[in-house]
Amino acid sequence: MHILSAVRTYLLLLLTAGLLLPVAAAAVELPGDPYHPRDRLIGDEALLDPWDPLANWRMRSEPRHALPGPFENCPHDYDVLHYELNFSSFDHLSNYLDGHTVIDFVSRVDALGSIDLDLTSQLTVSSIVRDGTDSLSYSQVGDVLNVQFAAPPDSGDTVSIDVAYEGVPWNEGAGGFGGFWFRGFPSTAFSMGIGLAAEPPAVGHAWFPCWDWPCDKATVDLNVEVPLDKMAVANGELLGVDSTATDHTWRWSHDYPIATYLIAVAVAPYKVLSDTVVTDPRIKVYHHPGYKKKATVSFQNVDVMMEAFETRFGTYPFEKFAFMVTNIGDMEHQTCVSHAAGLVDSTNTYDPILAHELMHMWFGDCVTYGSWADIWLSEGFGTYGPALFREHQGGMSAYHDHVTTSILNRIITSGKTDGIYDPPDRWGVINYEKGASLLHMLRGVLDDDVTFFQALNDFFTAHAYGNVVTADFTADVNASTGQNLNWFFDPWLYGEGHPVYEYGWSPVPLGGGSWRVDVGIRQVQTTATIFDMPVDFRVQTASGDFDFSERIDSAAQTVSFVVPAEPTGLLVDPDDWILDVQQVSPTSADFGPEVAAAQALSLLPARPNPFRTRTEIPFYLPRGGRTTVTIHDAAGRTVRSFGTREEMPGARSLHWDRRDGDGGKVASGVYFVRLEGVDGVRSGRVVVID
């Protein structure tokens, strides 16, 4: 945040005394939604508190703080050092593969009698050989392959086993994402390492035996035999191509640690995009025949993306980078991203997706999360990457345009209120956009790009080629900046929602051309978390704008600023440094005669109305005080009383879940809402349907 000056004055005024005038009820709606989609979080449950529908959610999901290691399922009784994947066939006609995988590992315990490997039950194991000579006994139950040792290794012993197998590999099926796929248009056989519906999500075991957890990284070689008209692309660098009269064997080697879900291969009649389009010799683009013209445009900015990220985070951490076009995507396989063919369209519309996947090479691939609760450490960084690419292209205005449009607004309009750490939806806006928003807000909180990017670089350097959890990130940033920033991290990582700032302001002449601007600001979000944030205020005058910043850390505060000209307007968080919603309370500086009407006691139309399971009943209180809401049937009988509460003035609401006072669901029909406040009584109608 860029601050011209700051003056803070604590005013001995009560908000109800008139500094903060209430806002019209309609202003509480989130942009783009006719009613609050937060209700999706609680389904058809009876509401514990109709005034606070997320009370149900909080009861089920108390904030859980991340702890530093051990990582999920690591360490365990053995540690994989290297995988060598060998395939003699990927048969498009039968969707069949035939291969064997050599696994080198070190025992972590004495007398290791057996190990478990992950391997889909759809693949049939024909043999397992130890150290090239000894056949081993094994069994497979479901997706677990148990390998027994006649001579158990001890702690520190290195063992090599060779697992031969064949069959139809697994994938998530129609509409799915993860697994191994054979597709005909364009003809491609390819792996996708994450299953969006799989539990756990890693699906390397869909096509090779492994310990399929992100924390057990190993190096990998891939040797893939394909017909002469096909090319096999995989992780790492190409060591060579062995040819016969009928086929090629492509030999790839990756000497950097890699998680199993990031190991990948794609087989297709690929063409390599000209190096006049992507000039960096480390970068290759593998596209299908007939896609050259489209690919020439769609990938023309990849060099610039690499330049943008190397400028911020140092030298690219691997030996090569490639986009291999596949039928579905995108997936950040280490050094060879799978990019969806449908996005290669002769435009640069999908540059943000390309930048997202390239950003993963630093954050997600080189530095990999240690548990599934920490996915934001990959996807949040990946989603932030396109903003940095846009900044590299067009400066800070382009950066802010991207952050506002493609990150902040997507979270706000989604209605999702989970904390960033371990949300129930692993692949939604919380891990992606809300994770990215935390990085954006951290940049604003630090208000110093040198400090911000140094902190990210220190975090990257400390964990390069390894694994991290959320507590590592916060500890590293605190250490790098020399500050304890947990006041910022904790509400966003482990709390709920985002701030909704309701504010009003009044100008006071001081003489000599100076004016004081008194501002009342409240956090009126319906979630329980109160956020502690430095908030920017922009006072507009005929002589120019004046920027200030104040720490807003409570439910209601008053602050003031002095400017050298008469104020004409006030903006809160004008540059969108915070994931928030701002609601203006009417003041004489902003509104005319309609203020009186807007400030009347009002019962607004329920939304939705008619409704089947739940509706929101919004209302407006010009003054705070005892407030009662009841539901009556057509005969005037009280069906449900929501009790009496002491309410703050302004836009308020409660939710009716179609239940009567005994907890049963009412019949369909017409019902009446009665609102009683200190300023009178209002009534309205709602319709229940089946």
Backbone φ and ψ of 686, nearest 5°: -130, 150
Identical topology for domains 369-494 and 601-688: no
The three-state (H, E, C) secondary structure of 238-277, written as one string: EEEEEECCCEEEEEEEEEEEECHHHCCEEEECCEECCCCC
Residues contacting residue 507 through CB under 8 Å, at least 6 positions apart: 515, 516, 517, 518, 566, 567, 589
pLDDT recorded at residue 652: 76
Does an H or E element contain 199, and which? Answer: none
Q: How distant, in Å, are the alpha carbons of 15, 59, 249, 351, 363 from that of 492?
A: 27, 18, 50, 28, 20
pLDDT recorded at residue 593: 39
pLDDT recorded at residue 338: 98
- As a whole number of Å, the CA-based R_g of the chain is 30
pLDDT recorded at residue 75: 85
Residues contacting residue 637 through CB under 8 Å, at least 6 positions apart: none
Q: Where are the domains of the chain?
A: 15-63+498-597, 369-494, 601-688
Domain range 601-688, its CATH number among 2.60.120.10, 3.40.1190.10, 2.60.40.1930, 2.170.140.10:
2.60.40.1930
Q: How distant, in Å, are the alpha carbons of 143, 179, 208, 331, 381 from that of 261?
A: 16, 10, 11, 10, 18
Task: Give the CATH number of domain 15-63+498-597.
Answer: 2.60.40.1840
413 contacts 429 by C-beta, under 8 angstroms: no
Does an H or E element contain 690, and which? Answer: none
Residues contacting residue 331 through CB under 8 Å, at least 6 positions apart: 177, 192, 193, 194, 264, 337, 338, 357
Peptide bond into 70 cis (omega under 30): yes
Q: How distant, in Å, are the alpha carbons of 190, 316, 679 from that of 621?
A: 60, 57, 8
The correct answer on CATH 3.40.50.300 for the domain covering 369-494 is: no
pLDDT recorded at residue 555: 86
What totals of helices (H) and strands (E) does the chain contain, helices first?
Answer: 11, 35
| Neighbour tally for 25: CB within 10 Å | 19
pLDDT recorded at residue 607: 76
634 contacts 668 by C-beta, under 8 angstroms: no
Residues of the chain with pLDDT under 70: 1-44, 51-70, 585-599, 650-651
Question: How far apart are the C-alpha atoms of 237 and 111, rounded to whole Å?
Answer: 37
Q: What is the residue whose two structure tokens read 């006994």?
A: 137
pLDDT recorded at residue 327: 95
| pLDDT tens per residue, range 49-76 | 776 665 564 454 433 444 445 688 888 8
pLDDT recorded at residue 412: 93
pLDDT recorded at residue 70: 64
pLDDT recorded at residue 586: 53
Strand intervals (E) in 377-493:
467-468
324 contacts 188 by C-beta, under 8 angstroms: no
SS3 label, residue 380: helix
pLDDT recorded at residue 646: 84
pLDDT recorded at residue 653: 78
